[in-house]
């Protein structure tokens, strides 16, 4: 349960090595979050992330979780909820893919969709059910501005995020009145290893800025968070640009 000041006591991260998720976990730990679960594919990086957060004073455990193994989600995530209430679930797993390569390799393209969309539908429903059963909590979904409008440069990734975003919005509507909040986060270009080597886009931001926006959104119980906030206005204009013109824009 949240403490007397409204700060979450417990956090479950799906995608436990995500730079955005770890920046968010650090921020929440500084605000008194005491229990953190890092769910992810077992790796030295996952163990190092857990050790680093422990050093900040949280009780941290890891759990094996693979977004592509939908059949295993109930088991993997059920173990976490069986240990106690979770105030915030942060769904942070995802892959960028390599657009040029994936256009030539349909199986690699399908892996992007399976990870970012199918995996999220399965894990999202498992977590939503568990949050509903406990009667409270927030599910934070890392969508992307790339899902707002398909771009030539990354439409495979963008389409997976469009599906994820629509799913999360609908899930949020389905959970109205249950005490469970779904918050959709739409960052623009964030400087992390996922974007290392890609040409930086306008309004690029940092994992720390996304973390700050997530924490503010949780406090306000926001349904949608854009990072940076100005992207909301930019995208409401870009959404209506005719396609022949949009194709020529340097976005």
Contact residues toward ligand NAP (CB under 6 A) are 15-20, 40-41, 43, 45, 65-68, 92-95, 115, 142, 144, 187, 189-190, 192-195
Q: Select 40 or 137, whichever has its Cβ closest to ligand NAP.
A: 40
Q: Select 18 or 35, whichever has its Cβ closest to ligand NAP.
A: 18
Q: How far is the CB of 44 from ligand NAP (least distance, A)?
A: 10
What residues pair up with 186 in beta bridges, in sequence order?
A: 226
Q: Which of 37, 65, 117, 157 is catalytic?
A: 157
Q: How far is the CB of 53 from ligand NAP (least distance, A)?
A: 14
Q: How far is the CB of 154 from ligand NAP (least distance, A)?
A: 10
- C-alpha 119/C-alpha 114 separation (Å) is 6
Q: How far is the CB of 58 from ligand NAP (least distance, A)?
A: 18
| Known catalytic residue at 157 | yes
Q: Select 163 or 187, whichever has its Cβ closest to ligand NAP.
A: 187
Q: Select 85 or 98, whichever has its Cβ closest to ligand NAP.
A: 98
Tokens of 176: 């109205």
For ligand NAP, the nearest residue by Cβ is 94
Catalytic residues: 157
């Amino acid at each position: 349960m949240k403490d007397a000041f409204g700060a979450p006591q417990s956090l479950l991260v799906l995608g436990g090595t995500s730079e955005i998720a770890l920046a968010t976990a650090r921020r929440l730990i500084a605000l008194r979050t005491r229990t953190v679960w890092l769910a992810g594919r077992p790796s030295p990086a996952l163990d190092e992330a857990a050790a680093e957060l422990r050093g900040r004073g949280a009780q941290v455990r890891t759990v094996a979780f693979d977004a592509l193994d939908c059949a295993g989600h109930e088991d993997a995530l059920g173990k976490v909820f069986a240990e106690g209430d979770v105030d915030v679930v942060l769904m942070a797993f995802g892959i960028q893919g390599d657009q040029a390569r994936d256009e030539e390799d349909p199986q690699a393209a399908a892996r992007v969709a399976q990870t970012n969309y199918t995996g999220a539908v399965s894990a999202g429903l498992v977590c939503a059910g568990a949050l509903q059963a406990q009667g409270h909590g927030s599910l934070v979904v890392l969508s992307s501005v790339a899902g707002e409008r398909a771009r030539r440069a990354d439409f495979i990734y963008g389409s997976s995020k469009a599906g994820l975003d629509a799913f999360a919005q609908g899930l949020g509507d389905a959970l109205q009145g249950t005490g469970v909040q779904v918050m959709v986060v739409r960052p623009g270009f964030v400087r992390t290893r996922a974007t290392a080597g890609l040409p930086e886009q306008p309004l690029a931001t940092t994992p720390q800025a996304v973390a700050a926006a997530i924490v503010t959104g949780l406090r306000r119980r926001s349904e949608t968070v854009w990072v940076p906030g100005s992207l909301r206005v930019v995208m409401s204009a870009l959404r209506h640009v005719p396609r022949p013109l949009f194709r020529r824009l340097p976005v």
